[in-house]
Structure 1
Amino acid sequence: MNKSDFSQRLLTWFDAYGRKDLPWQQNPTLYRVWVSEIMLQQTQVATVIPYYQRFIERFPSLPALAHASVDEILGLWAGLGYYARARRLHQAARIAWETHGGELPATLEALMELPGIGRSTGGAILALALGQRYPILDGNVKRVLTRQEAIEHWPGQPKVEKQLWQRAATLLPRTRLADYTQAIMDLGATVCTRHRPHCPSCPVKKTCQAHLQENPEAYPRSRPRKRLPLRATCMLILLNDQGEVLLERRPPVGIWGGLWSFPECPPQTEAALWCQEQFGWPIGEVQHWPPLRHHFTHFTLDIQPVIARIRGEARQVMEPNSQVWYKMEPMYKRGLPAPTLRLLKRLREPSKGE
């Protein structure tokens, strides 16, 4: 594969077909590109766009983000998933505010010292915002390069990843670094797709070994599979006499870290007894909803929702900083994980919850 031929073909294709109207491409500052790159980690562009627009409207600058509350940030992030990204974004903003004069640093080494920014993300930020000459190696780029050379091993292996980094650096052009970086990401996202790649319209198909083998979908090789463990929990949906539901803030680490969700108890627990022991509230009517299954990267979670109505008044919470009576109004926003949002929606439509 000739370096200059590859990059020139890619840039010519980008001029005709590349994406140039994405919201973070308008006024591509370090801050705006950084926010977009964090949101785009493991998430498709079409999903990210409305979240990005709302986020930038509320937090147009790094100081605005650094001084925001975690709850407000998680509230705007709710539904986008991988919430650790939002917490790291906030942490990085605060660090940059305190140690870099309220701005993101403009060197790769300094960027990589901030939470949530690795070599590929940092390189993408600097290339797209400032035109600096750094390679990237996100999932789309790995797929393009793996097919170009028909690499026989899973690209997540350290030896293979090192090889891909070297190749990504070798292929960088001397000019138009921002366009090239966007182009190779666009190629993987729109042409060299995981399934049913559009090889006839690929600008670099003549050098693609996987295409020449007529078997592009065989690459990249899959990660060796492990059977995902199955876990179970019972989510207790406690309602008071005002029609409010009790939410608890989850620990800062672990799944849904820092978000608000329902109290959880072990499966097969007697909900009324558990509630009495934990909160001191007598329970009247108890109702079991159909189970809800939620998939994480490393395990699957089966959720048993249990509706329990408290008898009498229950307005005081034991820990005001980590418990709240939720009014279920759209204007009352908190960071809520997807299963919690689904159950709250079901709660507003009782006929669907039974």
Structure 2
Amino acid sequence: MPATVHPLRPRANPSLVGLVALTAPGLTQVNHVIIDRMQSPVSLIPELAGHLIAGGGKRLRPMLTLGCAALLEYGGTRHHKLAAAVEFIHTATLLHDDVVDVSGLRRGKPTANRLWGNPASVLVGDFLFSRSFELMVEDGSLRVLKILSSASAIIAEGEVAQLTAQRNVETSEDRYLEIITAKTAALFSAACQIAAVVAERDSAVEAALEAYGRNLGIAFQLVDDAIDYVSDADTMGKDAGDDFRDGKITLPVILAYARGNEDAREFWRQAMSGRANGDAELARASVLLNETHAVADTLARARHYGARAIDALAGFPKGPAREALTETVEFAIARAY
């Protein structure tokens, strides 16, 4: 990895309080758009969509759009609808992900597919994708439409790539970083980048905000990978070890497999194939992850990408917006501790 990035030295107890305060007025408007646009005469659509949208998510991605707009001192309102579009894209991908992953719990609550079934979840996800594109078209900017539509396509490619890599312990670290850059970081980067478009800033500002969002998104996913093995359902909103039981190839597994002896590698092959992934095997996996420093090194990589995200803000004036966006990165990393 590049050695020019400044090391991340987060404050003692980082939080999203700064970002929440910075974006509160705008987020109220975004929520009005979300509630209005998820309505449909087909009652199942708002019922199912509302279950997930109101299910305890922090609205992080739309807050990033609003926060980056504040960083650029944008005084208009175009970003409200676009932030709602970002949230609809995110929610649609969650609905589809839970079907693919056969998930039963999200943010501590039963998933939509568990309550309404897979077909309804997929179709309502499609509805939300359609609503997001309506909002993009209403904005009228071809540049915004290109950024968000490209992100949607990249996310889908990332999800398919993750599916093809599932249970494949030979997946390389580079390949895995490509996957999470697509499936997670693409929407973070797009959410930030569109703020530069609505504020009518130049390509250099667009690139800086894109880099901020992309690196934050990678760091965010790497922390998620790590805490699956070191946290619990109350903290994560899903059962600990879900990735392990689902045979998901995440960075801790990739590192532990690469560093293990043949006995350990055979264990990972059996576990990720689904032939041996019970509680006893999860306990052994935790031991192997600790022995190979796989979780610790995953978090070290997350801190690296977090530092890159913060560095991307260096050219912007100091103030409440830059401070809130910086602390957001620190918060994303601190979730693992």
**With structure 2 as the length reference, what TM-score do the two structures score?**
0.24
Determine which structure has more spread, i.e. the larger CA radius of gyration.
1
Task: Pick the structure with more strand per residue.
Answer: 1
TM-score (norm 1): 0.23
Greater relative CO, 1 or 2 (CA 8 Å, sep 6+)? 2
